[in-house]
A and B are shown apart, each in its own frame.
Chain A
Amino acid sequence: MRNRFTGAAVGLAAVLVFSSFAAAQTAQSQPKQVNEARSPWKYYPMDRAVGDGGPAPKRDLTGTWAGPGSGAAVPRGTNAQAPTAPPLTPLGKQLYDQNKPIGKYSPAGTNDPHTRYCDPFGFPQNMTNEIRGMTITTLPNRTFILIQYMDLWREIWTDGRALPTDVASGKDGLDPRYNGYSVGHWEDDYTFAVDTTGLDDSTWTTKNGYPHSIDAHVQERYHRDAKNDLTLTITMDDPKLYTKPFVLGEEHFRWIPNQQVDDFTCIPSQVQEYLKEMGDPAGFDPNAPPQRR
């Protein structure tokens, strides 16, 4: 009986795997053909890169990429907005318990500073939440990651310098930053590793409210799987708040054929209109019985 159940489960998994993979491949290899004039200035999410595009170029991430929120059928990553964190330290739990994420409390009840006020996500949340389009470009001594959502950029130094050790330490220490301080290097011809610290601790690590300290050490690995495929894995080590390092998530990106992205950002005046007209009146208590007024 147990074997039969196991066999059925494996069979179901295989069907899911096959159908999912086939769907993803179909979506990517048979972009919708629309017989309309194409503007070189516009993003067309239904125009999708075909297949893997061939071998990955060496030591090159340059270009504009569609992320999981792009509308271009990019496979969703794992754990990116709600990772499985290890046990928190007492301080970590205290901070975590103060945060009321939107997924549980709705727009009306959350204290997520981005949801209520468009405050910056900060890094690393800006690499996992609302991750739509992204452009990577390089100078001889730096790599820049330009993120579509909120029109922001990250600066990653590649000149061999070490990460700072004096952020928020004493009167001469560096100030914490929303995106922290980042250095990067090639681990091999296809993997670019980025290390970041010095993060503004008013921001959340994840959409579901995990906190981080200024001294958190976040490592990203950008792996160029193929010409059209890029995979990002993010891990965080923050011993003040967590008992061991953990993986924040894995995100997949696909090459955008015309290299364009749209404008999409959080606009404070629109958020205030939305909350006043919709979010706040809708309430947030999932167990509240209807109270008609």
Chain B
Amino acid sequence: MKTKVRMLVTSIAGLLAICSPMFAHHGAAAYDMSKPVVLKDAVVTQFAWINPHPLIKADYKDEKGNVQHWTMEMGSTPASQLIGWTRATLKPGDVVTLYVWQAKTGLTVGRFNKVVFADGKVMRDTQTGTDNGGRADTDVGR
């Protein structure tokens, strides 16, 4: 009985933790989470599968033809693997559309939201991957 109560309490805590919008590694305060920036037809220049967060680097040509160099972070490697990411999901030269929550500094860095591949396939960030910036990994019960 004591064990069941203990499990119950920890399960409640678990639910609250899953519902929490907090980042596992750090907070979202640095990012403008009101609306993602859309980088259509961006060209991936590097996919760095590193700790504490993988980095997606891509070049994006704006409406004036200027090339912007973007860097964005995503969920940790173990967390991202749970929803299908591998170190080979993106590679240099891939032309994709990237959605990113830009840093409030206004620099071309941000928190990755989702990527739309040429064939229409969508892959999302673990923690800010839904269209409103919520967790996209709740169904794997991490």
Contacts and interface: CB of A to CB of B under 8 A. Distances in A.
B103 A21 contact: no
Contacts of B73: 274, 278-279
B16 to A, nearest CB: 8
A78 B76 CA distance: 22
Interface string B22-36: 101111011110000
A289 B106 CA distance: 9
Contact of B50 (A75, A106, A226, A267): A267
A283 B110 CA distance: 10
B88 interface: no
The range of chain B's interface size is: 35 or more
Contacts, number: 157
Contacts of A8: none
Interface centre among B9, B52, B55 (most CB of A within 10 A): B52
Given A252-B10, A270-B51, A284 B29 contact: yes
Contacts of A273: 48, 50, 55
Given A27-B141, A225-B3, A282-B31, A291 B106 contact: yes
Contacts of A250: 10
A264 B55 contact: no
Contact of A286 (B25, B30, B52, B53): B30
A284 B51 contact: no
The B interface is mostly helix, strand or loop, or mixed, namely mixed
A212 B43 CA distance: 48
Interface of A: 16-17, 19-21, 23-24, 27, 45-46, 52, 68-69, 71, 73-78, 102-104, 106-108, 110, 115, 132, 225-226, 229, 231, 250, 252, 262, 264-267, 270-271, 273-274, 277-279, 281-286, 288-293
- Top 10 closest pairs, chain A to chain B, by CB: A75-B14, A292-B106, A286-B29, A73-B141, A76-B17, A20-B15, A75-B10, A282-B103, A270-B50, A283-B105
Interface of B: 3, 6-18, 22, 24-27, 29-32, 48, 50-53, 55, 57, 71-73, 76-79, 81-82, 103-107, 109-110, 140-142
9 contacts: A103-B26, A106-B27, A110-B26, A229-B3, A274-B73, A281-B71, A282-B31, A291-B106, A293-B106
